[in-house]
Amino acid sequence: MVKKKKKRHLLPVLAINGILKNNSIYGPYIFAGAFAVFVFFTLSSIIVNDLVYTLPYSGYIKVLMMIGLVVLGIILVPFLLYTNSFLIKQRKKELALYTILGLGKKHISIMLLIETLVIYLVVLFGGITTGLVLGKFMFILLLNLSGLDLHIQFELNGKAFLNTMVFFLILYLFTLIKNLVSVYRLTPSELMRSHKENDREPRFAVLRGSIGVIVLCGGYWIAINSKVDGFIFTNFFLAIIFVIIGTYCIFKAGLHVLLTKMRKNKRFYYKAQNFITVSGIHQRINKSSTSLSNMCIYSTMIIITLLCTVSLFFGMTHIVNYRYAYDVEMIFENQVTSSIPMENVKQFNKMVYIDLSLVQEENHFSVSEDEYAPKEKVRFLTQEQYEEFGNESLNLEDGEVAVFTNGPDLNFKEIHLGDQTFTVTEELEKIVGVNKSYGNVYLNVIYVILKNEKMVENTFHELGIDGKLAYKTKYIVMLNEENKVETIEKLSLWTSQQPGMLSFDDVISGEADTKSMAGGLLFLGIFCGIVFLICFLIIMYYKQISEGHDDRYNFWVMQKVGLSDGEVKSTIRRQIMTVFFIPLLFATIHTLVAIQMIVRLFAVIGLFEESVIVLSSIGVIVFYIFIYMFSYLKTSKTYYRIVRM
């Protein structure tokens, strides 16, 4: 009875001691966990706060925060499993000692259970407390970035607590199960044996490497060539998966092939520094290549997250400026009969037109019944309507058209509408109230200007569209800066009272809308960026620690056989430099390819200024190189310390 009681106390003590004694490795693990809880909790709190949705322009926030939560969840699973496997490896000896001293596997399992529970509680407590303290500021930051009303309170909601608790409980249970399985599978002697054996040489390295290259190129190909359509996210996801798999394969096989080559070059290999470095990396090729690949993947994620965030921040005004060549746009089914309130109006234009969605093949346009066929928006207007809109006059004849697009130039000599052929006399540079951007590939509208209404009717008849032509009327208004908001409100009210009203859009709400979307993305970008960075730093730190322990014995022996202190240092530096740039190099290449896709995705939300994205990318990459070097130097101090203990 007494014995049992003692044991019951012993296990928690051992468990807590296990964490405290290893605080240099458990510390970062717990910190990362707590930070993840903090972000998760904050995002959940925002999502469940119903008040947010009463705000105007807050539509994007919920969707964005949900996406953020999902991304965070997806990233955390492999990260926690990876770091956890590192932790348990570091402690195998200790656990083996316990088994030898008489703790059964059952006791060790209970100990691990207690440990996981303690970590879970600490992480949860730390993260939620931070969330409670900082949540309000985070909320204000989000509202501020999104340009939303600041009067809303940050509400605490039981659902956010519950979500966070359950999600992380599942995560940590996962790690616990993994640890239990690995403990049950091993015998004490296996546990005791320090990882002395070399990693098995990767089999079929060349084949594996080739597959890696093919998969990676496949990923790149998808990223470069995928079009913005319904499959864009599937493609994006596929590209990411391919690139990740490709990276792992290439790192593993490539490193092996490279090192084997180095070893075969005797003159190179049998030089003091190369000798130790090359054999050292080759020994733990699996571990090295995994941690290098992880570093590469996380680096890529950090760079891309930051890049998108920064691009968006600087691109926001471009989005609004491009879209709003006017202050107000009102579209009606027909011409409005009542008079428009004209006070405060600087400029006023009216355009009558018909929109069709047509299938485009080069300069052939035709009607398709297929709902899913990709279609282009083609806007027809007559010469007269075009001129009435405030443009210069054209002198079109029968069989002649003028064209315009707000995207890249069409460069058509002639245009086929159904079976009819028209000569393109002119491709217009501009149309009043529409901005042109060569980067606009996806949101473009093709304007076709015909001689007169009769021509339009004939054309439509040939295309197979009969009956009364569905003309729309668009008014665009430029306003004086003075009392702009009030005028817009007035116009909006007036529009809503008119029969046949189709839409009302104005620059103020457009700005607010864009800001709320971009602000939400910025907010997410900042926090996901920080979470990725923390993950990355911890992976790097653990890599240094585990390699430090691996190499300590080697350096100790070599010092005995005559390696001087200075040589130890320069060898370590060599070792670090050899693999230092590989993840960074690949991350940069991945990013350069991803930029193609990012440009296209940004075009969907109306950011066509590639220069913004390119400049942001350069800035972010340079910035990241500094962060990378800084953290490598910092964490390699740990390596030095362990090696030279």
Partner 1 sequence: MLLLEIKNLDKIYSSRLGLNKVQALDSISFSIEQGEYIAVMGESGSGKTTLLNILATIDRPTSGEVILEGENILGLKQSQLSAFRRDNLGFVFQDFNLLDTLSIEDNIYLPMVLAGESFGDMEERMKALTKRLGIENLLKKYPYEVSGGQKQRTAVARALITRPKLVLADEPTGALDSKSSEHLLELFSEIHKGGQTILMVTHSIKAACHASRVLFIRDGKIFNQIYRGVNSYEKMYKKISETLTSLQVGGEF
- Residue numbers at the binding site for partner 1 (CB under 8 A): 196-198, 266-267, 270-272, 275, 279-280, 282-283, 554, 557-567
- Please name the helix (run of DSSP H) or strand (run of DSSP E) that holds residue 378, with its range, or none: strand 376-382
The distance of closest approach from Cβ of residue 205 to partner 1 in the complex, given in angstroms and rounded to an integer, is 18
DSSP conformation class of 332: E
Count of C-beta atoms within a 10 Å radius of residue 74: 10
Considering the complex, state which of residue 58 and residue 571 has its C-beta at the smaller distance from partner 1: 571
The distance of closest approach from Cβ of residue 280 to partner 1 in the complex, given in angstroms and rounded to an integer, is 5
The distance of closest approach from Cβ of residue 645 to partner 1 in the complex, given in angstroms and rounded to an integer, is 16
Considering the complex, state which of residue 107 and residue 193 has its C-beta at the smaller distance from partner 1: 193
Considering the complex, state which of residue 369 and residue 565 has its C-beta at the smaller distance from partner 1: 565
Considering the complex, state which of residue 231 and residue 553 has its C-beta at the smaller distance from partner 1: 553
The distance of closest approach from Cβ of residue 93 to partner 1 in the complex, given in angstroms and rounded to an integer, is 17
- Burial class (CB within 10 angstroms; exposed 0-12, middle 13-18, buried 19+) of 590: buried
Considering the complex, state which of residue 595 and residue 642 has its C-beta at the smaller distance from partner 1: 642
Instruction: List beta partners, residue 290.
Output: none
Whole-angstrom Cα distance, residue 524 to residue 64?
A: 8
CB distance 539 to 294 below 8 Å: yes
Q: What angle do CA 387, 392, 398 make, to 5 degrees?
A: 65
SS3 content of the chain, % helix, strand, coil (to 5): 70, 10, 20
Q: Pull the structure tokens for residue 436.
A: 């042109």
Single out the residue of 75, 74, 167 nearest to residue 124, CA to CA. Answer: 167
DSSP conformation class of 357: E
The distance of closest approach from Cβ of residue 581 to partner 1 in the complex, given in angstroms and rounded to an integer, is 23
Considering the complex, state which of residue 265 and residue 483 has its C-beta at the smaller distance from partner 1: 265
Strand stretches in 118-161, DSSP E: none
Scanning 147-271, the segments in alpha helix (DSSP H) are 158-185, 188-192, 205-225, 232-264, 266-269
The distance of closest approach from Cβ of residue 186 to partner 1 in the complex, given in angstroms and rounded to an integer, is 18
DSSP conformation class of 556: H
Count of C-beta atoms within a 10 Å radius of residue 75: 17
Considering the complex, state which of residue 388 and residue 567 has its C-beta at the smaller distance from partner 1: 567
Considering the complex, state which of residue 448 and residue 576 has its C-beta at the smaller distance from partner 1: 576
Whole-angstrom Cα distance, residue 47 to residue 50?
A: 7
Q: What is the largest CA-CA distance in the chain?
A: 107
Whole-angstrom Cα distance, residue 26 to residue 612?
A: 41
Considering the complex, state which of residue 453 and residue 567 has its C-beta at the smaller distance from partner 1: 567
The distance of closest approach from Cβ of residue 562 to partner 1 in the complex, given in angstroms and rounded to an integer, is 3
- Please name the helix (run of DSSP H) or strand (run of DSSP E) that holds residue 623, with its range, or none: helix 610-643
The distance of closest approach from Cβ of residue 559 to partner 1 in the complex, given in angstroms and rounded to an integer, is 7
What count of Cα atoms within 13 Å lies in the side-chain half-sphere of residue 623?
13
Using the CB atoms, write b or e for 128-164: b if 16+ within 10 Å. bebbbeebeebbebbbebbbbeeebebeebeebbebb
Single out the residue of 535, 549, 482, 615 nearest to residue 29, CA to CA. Answer: 535
Considering the complex, state which of residue 128 and residue 642 has its C-beta at the smaller distance from partner 1: 642
The distance of closest approach from Cβ of residue 566 to partner 1 in the complex, given in angstroms and rounded to an integer, is 7
The distance of closest approach from Cβ of residue 536 to partner 1 in the complex, given in angstroms and rounded to an integer, is 27
Q: Pull the structure tokens for residue 140.
A: 């204000």
Single out the residue of 472, 542, 546, 547 nearest to residue 503, CA to CA. Answer: 472
The distance of closest approach from Cβ of residue 194 to partner 1 in the complex, given in angstroms and rounded to an integer, is 10
